[in-house]
Chain A
Amino acid sequence: MTTDVNDIVETIIAALVKTLPTPVTVTTETSITRDLGLDSLAVMDFVMVLEDQFDVSIPMERIAEVETIGDLARTISELRGHA
């Protein structure tokens, strides 16, 4: 379970670094909206990229609950568990 989440975190960070205009250090604790300065639309667009990478559906109401990169990874892990 935790290794799964760690793998997901790594994939998320790799994808994020590609989309962010300026290089930043991203960790599990990084807040997606506060630390990365992404507005809600940018977050939703980024989530579409992740949906394709993980072949999973992440409903909008689940995104609203997400604060950090770690939260996002756990959400994806959970959703994949249900698949």
Chain B
Amino acid sequence: MTILAKYTKLREHYHRIAGAGRDPFTVKFDAMLSPTEGMLNGRRTILLGTNNYLGLTFDQSCIDKGVEALKSFGTGTTGSRIANGSYDGHAALERELAAFYGRESCMVFTTGYQANLGIISTLVGKDDLLFLDSDSHASIYDAAKMTPAQVIRFRHNDPEDLNKRLRRVADHPGNKLVVVEGIYSMLGDVAPLKEFAQVKRENGVYLLVDEAHSMGVLGETGRGLAQEVGVEDDVDFIVGTFSKSLGAVGGFCVSDLPDFDVMRVACRPYMFTASLPPSVIATCLRSLERLQEEPGLRHKLMANSKRLYDGLRNLGFQVGPDVNPIVAVSLPSIELAITFWNRLLEEGLYLNLALPPATPNSQSLLRTSVSAAHTTKQIDTAIELFAKVARQLGVQPALVQTAAE
């Protein structure tokens, strides 16, 4: 019995998935040709699972800014924000993000994961209550593990269920924080945020929205779902990431709460880790500008998303409830999902294989994410490849629809 013996079952599960073909957890690209194409095992492969929503990873102006910062500020900050890790760029990015969202304060984190982990676990203390959507991202669940607050789950995207759970503890004197996401990362479904905002107002609680997948995607100027449905005033905290529409790495939280800055000396995942390299900060500053300068990127992204969503649905595949850049095809078994994923990869199409327990309702998903940088032809090729593989595997999409929830 070694210290790893507790993972025997997990290891067996992993080997069963990896043994069916390529190992989905260690896919390795030899080269990146563009935001939407890479070399995989010597083959040109369309990238349809990278969360690179605006396709800014190869934007020349972003690269130029990054290179410039790399040359003048060096490769890394070699320290945390509160020690020696704050450069001009870090403060500038915080100012620009606060301005973009029209908020007083912004804190930049080294990853989006750490932003959720730090902000949520620090906001609620031992006398407070934290309310989570049951389909929350791992970073939110991990924050829940870290906080001494009481944690209560409510049914996914169900404001009435949240309301019921809030009323049960109406007499509890602590502060209450509700956490939801803009677009959910597995199925691309959108939170009924207008209704959640109403529940928030009626119960006098705080509301945090993780706009990881909706920043740069939804809203009149790309601020996300809260902007799209006109409830920004009800949202006390917005968390986001640089790892998706901004094409880099990092995370942030913006807020109008007075004295929000005290979080800088209270929030451990902010304090005890090195800050982002100046080059990353510089590319993010530029990609945030690009996001605002070019709303056309967002429109192209949505047009591509609709084309893929409709194309797959017309073939008979079961897709998520909302048209969004995350288009997930649900297959009736883990085995079929693994085989289907392997065949698509052999055909030169890369996307994400998402399996239980990481998926809602234990679904087996082929998860795609669309980019503004995809050509119409690439989208059409992807749809054709889905049709071709379904034919080869003898799968009739219309007949494999699993019961939608």
Q: Which residues of A contact B165 (CB under 8 A)?
A: 51, 57
Min distance, Cβ B347 to any Cβ of chain A, angstroms: 33
Contact B150 A59 (CB under 8 A): yes
Q: Does B155 contact A (CB under 8 A)?
A: yes
> Does the CB pair A60–B168 fall under 8 Å?
no
Q: Which of B150, B153, B155, B357 has the most CB of A within 10 A?
A: B153
Q: Is the CB of A41 within 8 A of B357?
A: yes
Distance (Å) between the CB of B77 and the closest chain A CB?
A: 36
Q: Which chain B residue lies CB-closest to A47?
A: B153
Q: Residues of B contacting A55 with CB < 8 Å?
A: 168
Selected contact of B168 from candidates A39, A45, A57, CB within 8 Å: A57
Q: How many residues of B contact A (CB 8 A)?
A: 13
Taking CB as reference atom, which chain B residue is nearest A52?
A: B164
Question: Is B134 part of the binding interface, using a Cβ–Cβ cutoff of 8 Å?
Answer: yes
Contacts of B134 in A (CB 8 A): 44-45, 48
Task: Check B152–A59 contact: CB distance below 8 A.
Answer: yes
- Which residues of B have CB within 8 Å of A65? none
Q: Mark B144-166, 1 if CB is under 8 A from A, else 0.
A: 10000011111100000000110
Query: Majority SS of interface residues in chain A?
Result: helix
- The answer to whether B150 and A44 have CB atoms under 8 Å apart is no
CB closest residue in chain B, given A40: B357
Contact string against A for B residues 115-141, beta-carbon threshold 8 Å, 1 for contact and 0 otherwise: 000000000000000000010000000
In the complex, which residues of chain A have a beta carbon less than 8 angstroms from the beta carbon of B151?
Answer: 59-61
We find that the number of chain A residues with CB closer than 8 angstroms to chain B is: 14
B169 at the interface (CB under 8 A from A): yes
Task: State A45–B168 Cα separation when bound (angstroms).
Answer: 18
Structural contact, A48 and B153, CB atoms closer than 8 A: yes
User: What is the bound-complex CA distance between A55 and B168, given in angstroms?
Assistant: 7
Interface, chain A (partner B; CB < 8 A): 39, 41, 44-45, 47-48, 51-52, 55-57, 59-61
Besides A48-B154, A56-B168, 20 other A-B contacts (C-beta < 8 A): A39-B357, A44-B153, A45-B134, A47-B153, A48-B134, A51-B168, A52-B164, A55-B168, A57-B150, A57-B165, A57-B168, A57-B169, A59-B150, A59-B151, A59-B152, A60-B144, A60-B151, A60-B153, A61-B150, A61-B151
By a beta-carbon cutoff of 8 Å, the part of chain B in contact with chain A is 134, 144, 150-155, 164-165, 168-169, 357
Could you name 6 residue pairs across A and B whose Cβ atoms are closer than 8 Å?
A44-B134, A47-B153, A48-B155, A56-B168, A57-B165, A60-B144
